[in-house]
Every structure is written in C-alpha cells, then in structure tokens.
Amino acid sequence: MTKHAKKLKVHCPAMKLRGGLKAPKTTLRVSYHEHTVGLPWADIRPLIASAFRHVQREAFRTLRENFLLRSHTWTPDLILAKGQNGYWWGRATGSISRVFIGKLHTEPRQSVYPRYKDMPIMWHRDWQEQLLGLVAHELWHRWQPGHGKPAEIMCELVESDAIDTYRKEQGYTFTPPAKPEPVELVSNRFVAMSDRACESINS
C-alpha cells in the first residue's frame, strides 16, 4: 500500500523595510514521504523554516514592490525526496523546488558546483546544514532572474548566507578543517574523496 505524501507548511512572518514598505506573512507548502526520506518532520522543519525565512527576507529587501506583486500571485512549493545512492541534489522549475536528500553525514563536507569554473567552495558542517543550504539555493531560483553561471553564483551565495544565518540563530560557529581533504568530481558535483557516496547536485 502506497502512503500519501505529507502536506505541510512553514511560514515567514510579516516584514517591514526602512521607509515603511510592508510585506504580509508568506507561506511555503512542503510535501514529502517521511517513510522514504527517513527523517521526521520535527527534525527538518526548523531547517526548512530558517531557509525559507532567509530567502524571503533577501527577496523582499532586494526586489521590494516586485516581491509583493509576485508573492500575491503564487505560493511556492517544496518537494522533499530521498536521493539515490546517497546523493544530494536539487531542481527548481517555476514555483516548485525539489530537494533530494542524500547521506546524512555528521562530519564536515565540502563541495563545488562543477558546471562552471571558479565557483565558490561550499562547506557544510553536517547534513542539517547541507539540507538547509540546498533548500535555500533551490528556493532562490524563484527570485533569481536569468540562467547560467551568474544565476548559479547568486544561488550559491544565498545558500552560504542562509547557513551563516542559521549558525547565528543556533549560537554556534564553524571553521573548516585546516587541511581540507582533496575533492573529486562525482557526476555533477565535487565532493570530498573520503566519502564518495555523499554527492550534492544543485541545479
């Protein structure tokens, strides 16, 4: 018997910019199969909520009236699924973002977006940061105009900022290892050689 996907929601509170411009509370619809993803909603909800709040704040600050117009037009959706063979990756199409959850690593991992040269190196302290960052990356595609390398760099920077914001919210800091492990290209994303099963592919 096939279990139905859970239909859940997270919210970003109302916001106000200097000058008085206000945005109402916004909602992200989330659907996932808990039994296949293997993570209870209580464990991942704070991560999804933190990523969504960060993306909405940045979009409102950057786009202002255009943010209000587009927020009234449609509500974003996030679909969470299990990544095959321990791989992490994501895809964004219109208002729908998909994140595939890979191996739940508890040690730091680095990755580099491989499709373009000179992309920033990303560090995740653990799987929680990787999930939060990937969600922020894919959600930002909704607001980021254009495609190609410039758009992906902006999504990577938003991902990095979202992780930094989460660390501050949780009251901890993270310093990458002094001697990073060598990285290797596995499919579409660089990962640490010590764990080839942990791949992350950002669209």
- Rounded to the nearest angstrom, the gap between the alpha carbon of residue 43 and the centroid of all alpha carbons in its chain is 15
Distance in angstroms (rounded) separating the CA atoms of residues 150 and 153: 5
**% of residues, the chain, pLDDT over 90:** 63
DSSP state letter for 110: E
If we measure between CA atoms, which residue out of 54, 59, 47, 51 comes closest to residue 23?
59
pLDDT at 203: 46
Most confident of 6-15, 84-93, 110-119: 6-15
pLDDT score recorded for residue 30: 97
Q: What is the reported pLDDT for 174?
A: 94
- Using a pLDDT cut of 70, give the percent of the chain over it: 86
Q: Is the pLDDT of residue 186 over 80?
A: no
Name the residue ranges covered by the structural domains of the chain: 6-201
Q: List CB contacts of 13: < 8 A, sequence separation 6 or more.
A: 25, 53
Question: How far, CA to CA in Å, does 158 sit from each of 4, 138, 144, 194?
Answer: 32, 10, 10, 27
Distance (Å, whole) CA 159 – CA 99: 13
pLDDT of residue 135: 97
Looking at residue 181, its pLDDT comes to 58
Q: How far apart, in Å, are the Cα atoms of 124 and each of 7, 37, 104, 155, 198?
A: 28, 20, 12, 16, 12
What's the confidence (pLDDT) of residue 183?
A: 57
Global confidence as pTM? 0.86
What's the pLDDT at 184?
A: 44
Average pLDDT over residues 186-198: 39
Please report the pLDDT score of residue 4 as a whole number: 73
List all residues 6 or more positions away from 185 whose beta carbon is below 8 Å from its beta carbon.
114
Residue 79 confidence (pLDDT): 96
List, in sequence order, every beta strand (DSSP E) within the chain: 6-12, 15-16, 22-23, 26-32, 77-82, 87-93, 96-101, 109-112, 121-124, 183-186, 189-192, 199-201
pLDDT score, position 180: 57
Q: Are the beta carbons of 153 and 120 closer than 8 angstroms?
A: yes
